[in-house]
């Protein structure tokens, strides 16, 4: 059995294939970001799935692609945990940018961006994946991500920089009690996912002038700080996007792309489907 996993900070998709590439089962658990969760919390996410528990000894290969796996210590910690749990499996752990590349362009060259709970950008020449900015996490980076938009919505609400009609809608959609917000931001796990939850408000109000302006602000920052790290590459290659934020914001992405001089390629909402296709092709090769 082959297990393919795509994990963000919010959720984690697991798909099991047999050795012929036929799907055996598909499950979801909470996200397994080793840069945020402790070694005590990570195994609990696996235990959320009865299927994973029941079939753990049958897994021969595990390909895990995840947020928070871009630096060595968190990646190795997660890799060791997975090897201990799936004790009969060969385990490969890579950053979520690799999943995005395989899902968006496969083995073809291109610039690939992630806009989900977090954000990132890389260039693949078809063999090697290169990042020119090491992520410092949601507090300092992650422009145009779900958590960035959620944080800015909450800030604008708190400072009363949001139009009054939208403030009323926002109040009806979410619990905005200051004690509730601070409890989840400072005393609960996954504050980045908590922030990203509020970004859903953007895609329920896309026609609002304030929302359009906020979307452009995030995408411009992301383009300037991340995509333009590849100034030479964008002259020859398209820029592809992966993630739920990218899917819902694709009209704005194309507008900002024209402003910054790059061509938009594929926009993939859920990378797990492209990952499965990629690994099926490898099985057949």
How does pLDDT run across 172-219, given as a tens digit for each residue?
999 999 999 999 999 998 899 899 999 999 999 999 999 999 999 999
Q: Rounded CA gap, 280 and 282, in Å?
A: 5
The candidate with the shortest Cα–Cα distance to 227, out of 117, 148, 145, 114, is 114
How does pLDDT run across 232-266, given as a tens digit for each residue?
999 999 999 999 999 999 999 999 999 999 999 99
- CA distance to 119, 267, 280, per residue, from 226 (Å): 9, 17, 31
* Domain-wise residue ranges, the chain: 2-100+271-284
* C-beta separation of 7 from 49 below 8 A: no
pLDDT at 216: 96
pLDDT at 109: 96
pLDDT at 285: 60
pTM listed for this prediction: 0.84
Q: Rounded CA gap, 263 and 276, in Å?
A: 26
Largest CA distance in the chain: 58
CATH 3.30.420.40 fits 2-100+271-284, yes or no: yes
Q: Rounded CA gap, 238 and 113, in Å?
A: 11
The candidate with the shortest Cα–Cα distance to 35, out of 85, 70, 82, is 70
pLDDT at 143: 96
pLDDT at 59: 96
pLDDT at 117: 87
CB count in 10 Å sphere of residue 33: 29
The candidate with the shortest Cα–Cα distance to 200, out of 251, 158, 147, is 147
Within the chain, where are the H helices?
A: 42-46, 50-55, 72-85, 96-104, 146-158, 164-173, 178-186, 191-197, 200-203, 209-225, 244-248, 250-260, 271-284
The label of the residue with tokens 């507090």 reads 139
For the chain, the residue count is 285
Residue spans of the chain under pLDDT 70: 285
pLDDT at 254: 97
């Amino acid at each position: 059995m082959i297990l393919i996993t795509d994990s963000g900070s919010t959720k984690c998709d697991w798909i099991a294939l047999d050795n012929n590439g036929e799907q055996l089962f598909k499950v979801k658990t909470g996200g397994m970001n080793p840069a945020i969760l402790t070694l005590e919390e990570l195994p609990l996410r696996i235990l959320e799935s009865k299927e994973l528990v029941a079939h753990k000894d049958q897994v021969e290969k595990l390909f895990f692609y995840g947020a928070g796996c871009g630096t060595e210590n968190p990646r190795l910690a997660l890799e060791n945990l997975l090897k201990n749990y799936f004790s009969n499996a060969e385990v490969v752990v890579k950053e979520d940018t690799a999943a995005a590349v395989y899902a968006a362009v496969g083995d073809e060259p291109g610039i690939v961006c992630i806009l989900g709970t977090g954000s990132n950008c890389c260039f693949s020449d078809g063999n090697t994946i290169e990042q020119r900015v090491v992520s410092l996490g949601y507090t300092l980076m992650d422009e145009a991500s779900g958590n960035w938009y959620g944080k800015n919505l909450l800030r604008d609400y708190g400072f009363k920089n949001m139009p009054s009609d939208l403030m009323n809608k926002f109040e009806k959609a979410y619990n905005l009690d200051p004690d509730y917000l601070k409890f989840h931001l400072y005393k609960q796990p996954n504050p980045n996912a908590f922030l990203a939850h509020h970004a859903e408000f953007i895609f329920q109000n896309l026609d609002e002038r304030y929302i359009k302006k906020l979307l452009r602000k995030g995408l411009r920052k992301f383009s300037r700080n991340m995509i333009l790290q590849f100034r030479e590459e964008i002259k020859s290659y398209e820029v592809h996007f992966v993630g739920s934020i990218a899917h819902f914001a694709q009209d704005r992405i194309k507008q900002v792309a024209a402003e910054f001089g790059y061509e938009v390629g594929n926009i993939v909402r859920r990378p797990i489907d492209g990952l499965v296709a990629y690994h099926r092709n490898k099985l057949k090769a």
